[in-house]
Chains A and B, each alone.
Chain A
Amino acid sequence: MSSDDTPNTETDAADSDGREPGTNTGQSDAPAAIERLVRASAVERALISVSALLLSVAVGFVLILAAGRMTTCSTAATTYFGVGFCYDPVTVYDLLFLGAFGDLSSDLINGQLATTLSQTTVLMFTGVAVAVAFRAGIFNIGTQGQLVVGALGSAVATLWASTLVSGVVGTLLLLPFGLAVGAFVGGVYGAIPGALKAYADANEVITTIMLNFVATAVALYLVQDHFQDPESVATQTVPLPEYATFPSVIFRARDDFSLVAFVVAAALLVAVYLLIERTSFGYDLRTSGIQPEAAEYGGVDAARTVVASMTLSGALAGMGGAVYVLMIIGNFQTGVPAYGFDGITVSILAGNNPLGVGFAALLFGVLKSGSIVVDVGTDVPPQLVGVLRGLIILFVAMPEFFRMIGTRVWSVRPSGSGGQPVTDGGTVADSRGDVEDDVDAESGVPTEGGERDE
């Protein structure tokens, strides 16, 4: 008799919908070698990010005009189609995107550029922190809390250590020490939700949100009751001596930007990229992020990987906190800016690629810095930048939208299969469901994905 189960040279049609066997479908974001980096997926992803940026700028344009009609002013800032508007979007965007770089023609190292770059530096840390967790399939919303405790730990420890050494030697010793302490404290704080997830199935989205609140409150308590600077009305620690903070190279000291820190951050991005793409640990991490069942099959200790990647993520965030302390503010002060939350948006925009984080961080650094220029230079409410940020993320989340547009415009369907999210976090793989049509190609196991791990 014949075999029951035979040729399957073509999968059931439904299964191959949108897939062109043999071509790269743009699903992989795990280029293993540099030459594989420049592939359809990376290009497509970058295109989507750029399109998202442009689209949100366009929406923002309309929003600025609309707001400009809702308010009143004595003279119109701009006129379109005979209607006067109080706010001129062109001015706003000019100030936002170009203003962030300051007047480069007269001063290459101007203060505004320094602000942009210093914001970028911290965002590189928090962005890559989120990216690492994301790649491991964990949604670390607790970067903010990890940053806060890292910053506090770093400030307190460095302050203590700065009494022991000083001068150039002090700088050489204290900076690595401060960063290490920040990384350690942040790492430990990141390990808590990691362990809760791995060993108690506690949803990390919830625990990290809660831990953010806890971090803020505990930091407030610790500073107020134990590390308060008696000289200051602000709730803050004693300022660090000059030699304990990042030295300004090329840039002016007053601008709170250090090329050293920037280089450290950039190097770290490359290191994390290599770690993820080139090492066994990175392989474990990526695998458990994309497909935990397969990771387990491949001998990955899921629980340990979860804890390890959350620790790493927290450590990176903690280093970000240390850089904030050691480069920007010079001590710990309550009311730490929301770099951690911005890190999430940076990471999403970068498609969770550590190298992409560099570019995304720069964009958000520009937005942060540029919003100050906008606030001073125009009457447009600075919250506009917050709206733009949300829109960018919204559009990045819907690659299918751009594919549709791309399809209409060029009437060529991009090679990617639809619905693949830019991130590796939640998954919306389009093949799901359709696979079920495939006769017998699947076991009886329903191919449900997207299970949130509780």
Chain B
Amino acid sequence: MSSETVRGRLTDGELSPQRVAGLVAAVLLAGLVLWGFAFPETQAGRFVAILTDRSTLAATLRLSVPIAFAALGGIFAEKSGVINIGLEGLLIVSAFGGVYMADVTGSVWMGLAAGIVASTLLALLFAVVCIEFRADQIIAGLAIWLIALGLAPFASQVVYGGPNTASVDTVDAIVIPGLSSIPFFGALFSATPFVYLMFGAVAASWWTLNRTSFGRWVNASGENPKALDTAGVNVTRVRYAAVLLSGVLCGFGGAALSLSIGQFVGSGSTMVNGKGFIAIVTYLFGNYNPVGALLSTMLFAGLDALQLTLQARDVFAVPQPLVRTIPYVTVIIVLALFGRTRIPKAAGEHYESGDE
């Protein structure tokens, strides 16, 4: 904003204070890791052991699934010029929808489909409100979150008599023999189908955005909708498609979240518990690149997995509630150090082609 002109030279310079601080942090971390490798019996050593444990990667992957899907959804919406801050809400309805349908039909895959449908319907509402009725996107996104936060437990209450649903079956991990026993990376070959779906979705999203016509149009719609319009592509339609796609992707994420536990928990902030917001953080970090978003998701999820393990192993004598803040504090620090992302120029703006 206003400070940018003045700030610009500080943040963009080769050796800004932030870059320096980031470098120092990286060096310190590297030092800690080296120290850990050299002296495995120390705290640092145990830390490194946890860090390089195969199960840490496995946990990271699992925790990444809902966040990564939501982040991909957020990328499509925002790249097309519609900031979708309601990802959290989409995750919530799909988490409930997934379990409900899995419960009714007994099939996890029907559940997944229902989760996607539920999320897409809510995304459609969001799209209509933002695109048709020119709603402020941020506020409408918040509304979507609030609606879902009420609606899913409401439905659960009606159907199950409480905000938490019954238990349903979950899916088993797909283990690729041989490969799954590789140290550390073996976790990549012994994971639930949702993890593989996540990788597939990241790849497909990357391809769609970078290699297909639709991806070009999404880009143009967020950067310069008028250019797209004058090139003869219907901006409204592209934006609808992108927002609905964000619904579909969030549907995968939410359903994967609840179906890998086999229950929807709707009390409090529900089982989604801020993952949709984290997703926004990660795609901003990832600079709207699906691969970047995946990596930053894994950074966050990895920290989350790490803090759970650090608690269990009593590494670093820090009170447990404080250990839990590690991922959040890390996000703040990283954001402060490398804070700037280039957001699509027309994001947040309503676009009306020609006259009405």
Contacts and interface: CB of A to CB of B under 8 A. Distances in A.
Contact of B328 (A63, A210, A397): A210
A198 B154 contact: no
B231 interface: no
Contacts of A348: 139, 142
B139 A381 contact: no
B319 A210 contact: no
Contacts of B139: 348, 393, 396-397, 421-423, 425-426
B285 to A, nearest CB: 9
Contacts of A209: 274, 277, 281
B271 to A, nearest CB: 15
Interface stretch (A29-37, A160-168, A177-185, A214-222): A214-222
Contacts of A385: 150
A378 B144 CA distance: 26
Contacts of A203: 284, 335, 339
A61 to B, nearest CB: 14
Contacts of A422: 136, 139
Contact of B143 (A200, A217, A390): A390
Contacts, number: 240
Nearest to A192: B332
A389 B150 contact: yes
Contacts of A213: 274, 325, 328
Contacts of A390: 143-151
Contacts of B328: 210-211, 213-214
Contacts of B129: 394, 397-398, 401
B213 interface: no
A214 B339 contact: no
A207 B339 CA distance: 11
B133 A202 contact: no
A400 to B, nearest CB: 4
Interface stretch (B109-117, B171-179, B192-200, B341-349): B341-349
A196 B134 contact: no
Interface stretch (B49-57, B66-74, B156-164, B309-317): B156-164
A176 interface: no
Contacts of A118: none
A306 B170 CA distance: 48
B352 interface: yes
B1 A453 contact: yes
B321 A217 contact: yes
Contacts of B154: 63, 67, 381, 383-384, 386-387
B340 A293 contact: no
A345 interface: yes
A292 B2 contact: yes
Interface string A279-310: 00000000010001101100010110010000
A163 B145 CA distance: 45
B151 to A, nearest CB: 5
B188 interface: no
A275 interface: no
Contact of B331 (A210, A397, A425): A210
Contacts of B321: 217-218, 220-221, 224
Contacts of B336: 196, 200, 202, 207
Interface stretch (A146-154, A261-269, A312-320, A430-438): A430-438
Contacts of B280: 205-206
Interface stretch (B3-11, B240-248, B249-257): B3-11
B153 interface: yes
Given A421-B136, A423-B139, A453 B4 contact: yes
Contact of A293 (B2, B7, B331): B2
B143 A391 contact: yes
B22 to A, nearest CB: 11
Interface string A242-269: 0000000000000000000000000000
A17 B135 CA distance: 19
Contacts of A388: 150
Interface in A409-432: 418-419, 421-423, 425-428, 430, 432
A432 B349 contact: yes
A394 B304 CA distance: 33
Contacts of B349: 427-428, 432-433, 448-450
Contacts of B125: 394
A57 to B, nearest CB: 14
Contacts of A425: 136, 138-139
A203 B151 CA distance: 29
A448 B3 CA distance: 17
B3 A306 contact: yes
A423 B1 contact: no
Contacts of A137: 1
A408 interface: no
A214 B329 contact: yes
Nearest to B334: A202
Of the candidates B142, B266, B352, the one having the most CB atoms from chain A within 10 angstroms of its own CB is B142
A440 interface: no
Nearest to B148: A390
Contacts of B142: 344-345, 348, 393
A190 B319 CA distance: 24
B84 to A, nearest CB: 12
27 contacts: A63-B154, A67-B158, A202-B339, A205-B280, A206-B335, A207-B332, A210-B328, A210-B331, A214-B332, A217-B321, A217-B322, A221-B319, A224-B319, A295-B2, A345-B146, A383-B154, A383-B157, A385-B150, A390-B146, A397-B139, A397-B140, A398-B135, A421-B139, A425-B136, A433-B225, A434-B352, A452-B347
Which 5 A-B pairs rank lowest in CB-CB distance, beginning with the nearest? A386-B150, A390-B147, A390-B146, A302-B2, A381-B157
Given A401-B129, A427-B348, 16 more contacts: A67-B158, A201-B339, A209-B277, A211-B328, A217-B321, A220-B321, A382-B157, A383-B151, A383-B154, A383-B163, A398-B133, A398-B140, A426-B138, A433-B226, A449-B349, A451-B345
